[in-house]
Amino acid sequence: MRFIISETLLEEDSVQQLTNCAKLKGVVLAVGLPDLHPGKGYPIGSSIITQGLIYPHLVGEDIGCGMSLVRTGIAATKQKAEKWYKQLLGIEGRAGTELEEFAAKAPFEWPKGRAVPPVEGLKDAVAARFGTVGRGNHFVEIQELFQVANEELFKQLNMDQNQIYMLIHSGSRNYGEKVYEAYTSKHGTKPADISSPEAAEYLAEHNKALAYARRSRAVIAYRILSQIENIDTSWITEGSSCVIDTCHNYIEQLQAKNQFVHRKGAAPGNAGMIIIPGSRGAYSYIVKPVEENIAISGYSLAHGAGRAMKRSKALAKGKTIYPNSNPVSYTHLRAHETVLDLVCRLLLEKKKKKKKKN
């Protein structure tokens, strides 16, 4: 067992959960990453490597949850945060039949160069949630580049410092939930031998959930940008608009090994550059993993800022401190929030600072 985290941030519950994971049959390494925190029985912010076995419950329900960084084609000088906020009100509902059919469109790449298989036969609630952000800490943010530390890597991503970007955090919604429940209803928390029919069946559906999540993030980007007037969004679903797309809830087989990385709230450290989002209203970072060190951290990196306590505990504590408060409608940067959790961070902060100077 290994912790890639400051001791001052370690929480007893998350340590115990990771310890329990390390004792599971077939586990060869359990790593707690910088954003490690307690989950529903199993820690979030962890990378668990097994030999010859897979444990679906170490990934959980939201298979394929991840981040997409998307080009908007909007110049940073053309920011209209207040106007956009009003235009996006009411976008929280279903994507609609036409966009839901995009789940089965083939071929599709996201980002350009990475083929995403079609997901066919979506019905009822699974279809209804395709192209929607979801609850919890899922979000969409409009972001502005603040600083470039490495010009060479920046050029490799074909990014423009004068353009604003969209960051989407969303997963497979109830598609992944059904995949997880289908396995656990039969096998509980028992592992599956990788050569077994159970493992093959689960991994096939697991991979469909990954595709669902990636395609769903593309549709979310399209929906939001198409709500903003005078913006051509015809290119969004071609994949060229996606800069980075990574999942942080999934199982990956290590090449040339019969070992499997179970990531739950852990970004891949072996998939090129990734984006690590900050807390709401804070900065996000695009980073390139150091290849020779990725094995130390279980081939994974932190997937976000983490949290100091469970959501339920934070909610209870907040109600105690602010018993008569209304729901928060602004961050400390005065960024609007909608049900989609759209945060125009940095954009409004920049305007606010200009006003102070005047």
Active site residues: 303
Q: State whether residue 290 is helix, strand or coil.
A: coil
- Give the Cα separation of 121 and 119 in Å (integer): 7
Residue-wise DSSP of 66-91 = EEEEEEEEEEGGG--HHHHHHHHTTT
**Contact partners, residue 32, CB within 8 Å, separation at least 6:** 1, 2, 3, 4, 5, 10, 14, 15, 18, 43, 45, 46
Ramachandran class of 6: left when φ > 0, alpha when ψ lies in -120 to 50, beta otherwise? beta
Please answer whether residues 219 and 263 qualify as being in contact, where contact means their C-beta atoms are separated by less than 8 angstroms: no
**If you count them, how many residues does the chain have?**
358
Least Cα distance to 304 among 275, 270, 343 occurs for: 275
